[in-house]
Amino acid sequence: MLTAKENLRQTIIDGGKPDRFSNNYEGIYLMMHPWIMHSGALLAPGDKGKVNAWGVTMDFPAHTPGAFPVHTPDKVVVKDIEDWKDYVKAPPTTFAEAEWEEFQKQYEEVTNSGKAYAAPLYVTGLFEMSHYLCAIDDALVYYMTNPDEMHELLKYVTEFELRIAEGICDHLHPEAIFHHDDWGTENNSFLRPEMFADYFVEPYKEIYGYYHDHGVEFVFHHNDSYSANLVPYMIEMGIDVWQGNMESNDTKAMLEKYKGQIAFMGNIDNKDVDFHGWTSEDVKRVAYEHLDGYDFQSYIPCITQGGPGSTFSGTYVELCKYIDQYNCEKFGFTQQEIEDARLPLQVIFG
């Protein structure tokens, strides 16, 4: 029986031979690092008015999947896109060696287990940074009316990300990276594909190319939205796993077209299992619906949320339980064998 890490690897690589469904985040641990601790991104439900390292004011309302920027006129960072350099100041990217050493031990423990990838969690990605700084409506307009300024802003943020990537790779030597950047709604991408490619393909090729060139085997990119129209660009960027693909993308159709080129980790929308009043029967039904008729290759059944957890307490663990149960019923494993092949389930929230 494969470890959870190796089973995940075999699921991702072209021609791999996994022996069961990789279950949610069991094969990858999302890890902290000095930048994320200084970023101001780690809000808790109920937090309000928290200002992050870029000067963006954030709220995290209770019973919602995550924090979001506050864009009342007095809180928007970029007051005038033509003068964005007057408003946007990148945070520091160098940290004390003692801070890195604290995290090195955690990474080594996960990596040495052989049961999971130790993957730095990176938030916030390029598109999200643009609308965090400018406000979402204004940012979408600027992509049409001020292309020069938006290219410059994205270049500035890309250079910042590359400095963070250098520190991560030099000190933590990860085998995987888990990077957030949402690119659409449930039903469409925010930008038409040609415009998206013009702004984001080259910067992400640079960022993800750096990681791949410095020991990272797999880039996991979280984007819980409709983005089936962007998959060719994801592949070009160097994304190995798209985490968060919602049902609206038609995962089976994407697997038929892209299997072996990119893996899809998601397909179980939060709204289907993670809601007030959920029941165990709800979760089992949804889990089995997203396993029956699917093949292991390039498919990781997973909640679409960008981390191991849930908005309403217990739903993520319950979903993991039923995917385990399916693997035992269909492929002859025992629950104890599955537990022995992985680290304890990581639950970051919920």
Domain edges within the chain: 4-35+73-340
The pLDDT assigned to 350 comes to 76
The pLDDT assigned to 64 comes to 86
What percentage of residues in the chain have a pLDDT greater than 70? 100
The pLDDT assigned to 168 comes to 98
Burial of 264 (0-12, 13-18, 19+ CB in 10 A): buried
Has residue 65 got a pLDDT over 90? no
Q: By mean pLDDT, which of 60-64, 197-201, 256-260 is the weakest?
A: 60-64
Q: By mean pLDDT, which of 46-55, 61-70, 129-138 is the weakest?
A: 61-70
Has residue 128 got a pLDDT over 80? yes
d(CA 174, CA 12): 17
- What average pLDDT does this structure show over 45-65? 94
- What average pLDDT does this structure show over 234-256? 98
d(CA 118, CA 206): 22
- List the one residue out of 213, 297, 226 whose CA is nearest residue 262: 297
- What average pLDDT does this structure show over 258-270? 97
Has residue 63 got a pLDDT over 90? no
Has residue 182 got a pLDDT over 80? yes
Q: What is the 3-state secondary structure (H, E, C) of 62-113?
A: CCCCCCEECCCCCCCCCCCHHHHHHCCCCCCCCCCHHHHHHHHHHHHHHHHH
Average pLDDT, the chain: 97
Contact (Cβ atoms closer than 8 angstroms) between residue 143 and residue 150: yes
Dump strand ranges (E) for 91-187: 117-122, 176-180
The pLDDT assigned to 349 comes to 87
- List the one residue out of 314, 148, 211, 159 whose CA is nearest residue 221: 211
- Which token pair is 45? 């439900």
The pLDDT assigned to 322 comes to 98
- Which token pair is 187? 């039903």
Q: Per-residue pLDDT tens for 280-296?
A: 999 999 999 999 999 99
The pTM assigned to this predicted structure is 0.98
The pLDDT assigned to 317 comes to 97
The pLDDT assigned to 158 comes to 98
| CATH code for the domain defined by 4-35+73-340 | 3.20.20.210
pLDDT band at 336 (very low <50, low <70, confident <90, very high): very high
Has residue 22 got a pLDDT over 80? yes
